[in-house]
Amino acid sequence: MRRSGRPLRPGIYGDPAGVDFATEVLVVFSSGQSGTCPGWLAGIDVDDTGTVRITTGRHVASGVCTDDYRHYRMVLAVSRDLVPAEHDLPTDDVLVDGQVLGTGSLVRQYPSAG
Would you list the domain boundaries of the chain? 2-96
Distance of CA 104 to the CA centre of its chain: 14
Global pTM? Answer: 0.76
Asked whether the beta carbons of 62 and 36 are under 8 A apart, the reply is yes
What pLDDT, in 10s, does the model give residues 18-48? 899 999 999 988 888 888 888 888 999 999 8
Asked whether the beta carbons of 84 and 27 are under 8 A apart, the reply is no
**How many other C-beta atoms lie within 10 A of the C-beta of residue 21?**
9
What pLDDT, in 10s, does the model give residues 49-82? 989 999 998 888 888 889 998 888 888 899 999 9
